[in-house]
Amino acid sequence: MNEWPPPLQEIINEFKDCFDRMERYELLFEYATKLPHELQAKDWTEENRVKGCQSEAHVECTLDENGGFQLHGAADANLVQGLIAILAIGVNGLPPSEVALINPEFVDEMDVKASLTPSRANGFMNMFEMIRQTAKIMSKEV
């Protein structure tokens, strides 16, 4: 069993309580609106674009004044943006070294992966890797 940062664990539990896929989607849509640091469309660049997504998705990572990790992002599809939001809520403020170790399997536990296509899953994995790599570099720099 994986251990998740408490805010992430909380979200996972929420998804586990859902009745069916439709309810999980509704929840994802809801999270899409709760994205902490939305990356404005004007800041979407080739650099921060997530490859392998069918839709457009962009993410950037920064450190806050306390050295805590901050994920910024946005996507044109709500389900993708919902995933970004969940990840952001789950990890924001953590030391980058911890973020670098997070396992992407939380998506399985939320049981939304079944509803991602391999190409989407791929996009998600690519996004996840972008984030982990950056966190890794940040944790060395700190």
Partner 1 sequence: MEGGQPLVYFDNAATTQKPKQVIEAMNSYYENTNSNVHRAVHTLAGEATEGYEMARTEVAAYFGAPRDHLIFTSGTTEAINLVAYGWARANLSKGDVILTTEMEHHADIVPWQILSKERGIEIRYIPLERDTLTLDMEAFEIGVQEASLVCVVHTSNVLGVRNDVERIIELSKTTGKKGSGAFVMIDAAQAAPHERINFVELGCDFMALSSHKMGGPTGIGGLFVKPEIMETMIPFISGGDMIETVTLEGSTFQKGPQKFEAGTPRIAEAFGWHASVKWLSKFDMKMVHEHVSNLAKMTAKKMSSIPGIRIYGRHDLNTCSGVVSFLHDSIHAEDLAHLLDSGGFAVRTGHHCAQPLMEALGVSSTARVSFWIYNTVEESDAFIDYLTSIVEKFG
Minimum CB distance to partner 1, residue 67 (Å): 35
**CB-based contacts of 127: which residues, under 8 Å, 6+ apart?**
50, 53, 57, 59, 84
Rounded to the nearest 10 degrees, the angle between the axes of helix 6-16 and helix 78-91 is 140
Q: Which stretch binds partner 1 (CB under 8 A): 40-48, 53-61, 92-100, 127-135?
A: 53-61
Please say if 53 is a catalytic residue. yes
Single-letter residue type at 14: E
Residues 68/135, Cβ–Cβ less than 8 Å = no
Minimum CB distance to partner 1, residue 51 (Å): 9
In the list 2, 33, 62, 119, the residue contacting partner 1 (rule: CB under 8 A) is 119
User: Which lies closer to partner 1 via its Cβ, residue 28 or residue 87?
Assistant: 28
**What's the full length of the chain, in residues?**
142
In the list 4, 90, 96, 120, the residue contacting partner 1 (rule: CB under 8 A) is 120
Other CB atoms within a 10 A radius of the CB of residue 12 amount to 20
Q: Is 76 in the site for partner 1 (CB under 8 A)?
A: yes
Minimum CB distance to partner 1, residue 142 (Å): 33
Q: Supply the residues annotated as catalytic.
A: 53
